Amino acid sequence: MSANPSPIQPIEFKGRMILVSILRLHPAEPVALQEALEARMHEAPDLMRDMPVVVDMDAMADTPAQDLLSALETVRQHGLKLIGLLYSQVSAPLADRTGLPLIVLGPRAGGEVPLRPAPKPPIESAPQETSEAAPVPPVQAVHTPSLVVNQPVRSGQQVYARGGDLIITGAVSAGAEVLADGHIHVYGPLRGKALAGVRGLDSARIFCRRLDAELVSIAGHYRIAEDILDTERGDNRLITLSGETIRILEI
Partner 1 sequence: MSRIVVITSGKGGVGKTTTSAAIATGLAQEGHKTAVVDFDVGLRNLDLIMGCERRVVYDFVNVINGDANLRQALIKDKRTENLYILPASQTRDKEALTQEGVEKVLEELSQEFEYIICDSPAGIERGALMAAYFADEAIVVTNPEVSSVRDSDRMLGILSSKTRRAEQGEDPLPAHLLITRYSADRVEKGEMLSVEDVQEILSIGMLGVIPESQAVLNASNAGMPVVLDTESDAGQAYRDAVARFLGEDRPHRFITTQKKGIFGRLFRG
| Contact positions vs partner 1 (CB under 8 A) | 109-114, 116, 151-157, 170-171, 173-176, 188-189, 191
CA dihedral 221, 225, 226, 229 (to 10 degrees): 90
**Which is nearer to partner 1, 84 or 189 (by Cβ)?**
189
Looking at the Cβ atoms of 99 and 111, the one nearer to partner 1 is 111
How deeply is 6 buried, as exposed, middle or buried, from its count of CB atoms within 10 A (0-12, 13-18, 19+)?
exposed
Compare residues 153 and 248 and give the one whose CB is closer to partner 1: 153
Nearer to partner 1, 107 or 122 (CB): 107
Kindly state the smallest distance separating residue 178's Cβ from partner 1, in Å: 13
Nearer to partner 1 by C-beta: 114 or 138?
Answer: 114
- CA dihedral 12→17→19→25, nearest 10 degrees, is 70
Measured CA to CA, the distance from residue 242 to residue 234 in angstroms comes to: 21
The three state secondary structure string of 28-82 is CCHHHHHHHHHHHHHHCHHHHCCCEEEEECHHHCCCCHHHHHHHHHHHHHCCCEE
Write down the least CB distance from residue 151 to partner 1, Å: 6
> How many whole angstroms separate alpha carbon 150 and alpha carbon 196?
19
CB atoms within 10 A of CB 134: 10
